[in-house]
């Protein structure tokens, strides 16, 4: 029998917690039976949302006396110490009582508490925040999305290796094609750090990924590359711009299709295509950012997502553990 995947879950983070967290766990377990959930939080609040029919042998609730609020600064959250559900969940991974940890709570607090408790993978200086983006041909891994405002050449090379390892873990049939996000595709474009990173990766000739040079922001969704590397400032701006654009297009399309009788008739005729379009841009399907570079995997679910989005981030957890992501990164860094 396969060893169960043990996921440490901070049940108190994000909007509508812990209800959406528990609903997400129930939905995830329906398709991932070989999973055990260590649920951290205020026990009497959590138990209200667990149905009596849910198998008691596949979860454990660990009481926490405090929680990290969305309004807490990372410093305030860290000072609360090991009384919070977030800290205890991370601590369980640190002590090898769980394989991976997930939270929908405060991003800055999660990053700081994870760094306080977990070691870095040897030879990596900084962890990065990575996430999945849809493209015309499938999915891309993008990093860093805000963990490091300033990055060195070594950081960007490390991000390339880690991003390639993550893509292979989540999509084993895909070969990583790495590109650096830049203001142009010509070799002379960009600052000194990105130009020296370009030269480094061009000379590296890695067996684990193909380096495709630079990529501009308007080419991110083309699918010609599937690992996109940037410093945290650039990556975060790109992420927020993409999210805002997707929301604008969806809202404007909905307005056009409901504004007039012709629009409503057109929507009815094209209902299948419209549903496919909506699904393609549904952020819940790509939920689950990963703090990558630490010696234990940490996943961040979007705080505003619903139970389905949280369930999808739990699926990311399952794939990461099954693919042994941390060992992949260690081997590739070496």
pTM above 0.85, yes or no: yes
Per-residue burial over 122-149, b if 16 or more Cβ lie within 10 Å, else e, is eebebbbbbbbbbbeeebbbbbbbbbbe
pLDDT confidence bin for 268, thresholds 50/70/90: low
pLDDT above 70: percentage of residues in the chain: 90
At residue 102, the pLDDT reads 97
The domain spans of the chain are 1-124+293-334, 125-286
Contact indicator for 239, 152 with CB cutoff of 8 Å: no
How many Å from the N-terminal Cα to the C-terminal Cα in the chain?
32
pLDDT confidence bin for 28, thresholds 50/70/90: very high
| pLDDT at residue 317 greater than cutoff 60 | yes
Superfamily of chain region 125-286: Isopropylmalate Dehydrogenase (3.40.718.10)
| pLDDT at residue 263 greater than cutoff 60 | no
At residue 134, the pLDDT reads 86
User: What is the pLDDT averaged over residues 31-52?
Assistant: 94
Q: Report d(CA 156, CA 177) in Å as an integer.
A: 15
Residue 89: Cβ within 10 Å count: 32
What is the radius of gyration, based on Cα positions, of the chain? 21
Closest to 267 in 3D by CA, of 257, 256, 275: 257
What tokens appear for 178 in the block?
Answer: 């790495």
Q: Report d(CA 78, CA 203) in Å as an integer.
A: 42
| pLDDT at residue 117 greater than cutoff 90 | yes
| pLDDT at residue 243 greater than cutoff 70 | yes
Phi/psi of residue 6, each to 5°?
-105, 115
Closest to 72 in 3D by CA, of 40, 41, 103, 109: 109
pLDDT confidence bin for 76, thresholds 50/70/90: very high
Q: Report d(CA 193, CA 189) in Å as an integer.
A: 11
Contact indicator for 130, 232 with CB cutoff of 8 Å: no
CATH number, domain 1-124+293-334, options 2.40.10.340, 3.40.50.2300, 3.40.50.300, 3.40.718.10: 3.40.718.10
pLDDT in tens, 208-239: 899 999 999 889 889 999 999 999 999 888 88
| pLDDT at residue 94 greater than cutoff 70 | yes
Q: Report d(CA 131, CA 145) in Å as an integer.
A: 8
At residue 267, the pLDDT reads 55
At residue 314, the pLDDT reads 96
Contact indicator for 178, 160 with CB cutoff of 8 Å: yes
At residue 121, the pLDDT reads 94
Q: For tokens 């142009």, what's the residue?
A: 184
At residue 275, the pLDDT reads 62
pLDDT confidence bin for 283, thresholds 50/70/90: low
What is the dihedral sign for C-alpha 70, 95, 172, 25? negative
Contact indicator for 58, 6 with CB cutoff of 8 Å: no
Q: Same fold for the domain at 1-124+293-334 and the one at 125-286?
A: yes
**131-145, 147-161, 264-278: which has the minimum mean pLDDT?**
264-278
Q: State which H helix or E strand residue 291 sits in.
A: strand 289-292
Closest to 144 in 3D by CA, of 167, 126, 118: 126
């Amino acid at each position: 029998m396969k060893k169960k995947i043990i996921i440490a879950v901070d049940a108190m983070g994000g909007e509508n917690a812990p209800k959406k967290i528990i609903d997400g766990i129930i939905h995830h377990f329906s398709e991932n039976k070989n999973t055990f959930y260590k649920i951290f939080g205020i026990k009497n609040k959590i138990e209200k949302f667990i149905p009596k029919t849910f198998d008691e042998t596949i979860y454990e609730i660990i009481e926490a006396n405090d929680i990290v609020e969305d309004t807490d600064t990372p410093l305030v959250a860290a000072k609360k110490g090991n009384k919070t559900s977030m800290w205890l969940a991370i601590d369980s991974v640190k002590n090898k009582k769980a394989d991976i940890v997930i939270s929908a709570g405060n991003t800055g607090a999660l990053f700081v508490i994870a760094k306080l408790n977990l070691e870095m993978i040897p030879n990596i200086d900084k962890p990065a925040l990575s996430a999945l983006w849809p493209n015309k041909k499938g999915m891309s891994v993008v990093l860093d999305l805000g963990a490091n405002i300033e990055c060195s050449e070594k950081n960007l090379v490390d991000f390339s290796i880690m991003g390639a390892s993550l893509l292979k873990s989540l999509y084993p049939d895909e070969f990583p094609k790495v590109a650096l996000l830049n203001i142009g595709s010509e070799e002379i474009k960009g600052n000194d750090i990105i130009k020296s990173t370009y030269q480094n990766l061009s000379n590296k000739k890695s067996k684990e990924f193909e380096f495709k040079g630079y990529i501009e922001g308007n080419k991110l969704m083309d699918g010609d590359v599937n690992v996109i590397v940037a410093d945290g400032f650039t990556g975060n701006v790109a992420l927020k711009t993409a999210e805002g654009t997707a929301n604008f297009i969806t809202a404007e399309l909905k307005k056009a299709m409901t504004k007039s009788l012709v629009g409503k008739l057109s929507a009815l005729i094209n209902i299948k295509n419209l549903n496919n379009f909506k699904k393609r841009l549904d952020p819940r399907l790509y939920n689950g950012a990963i703090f990558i570079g630490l010696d234990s995997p940490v996943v961040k679910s979007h705080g505003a997502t619903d139970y389905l989005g949280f369930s999808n981030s739990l699926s990311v957890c399952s794939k990461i553990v099954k693919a042994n992501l941390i060992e992949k990164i260690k081997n590739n860094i070496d």
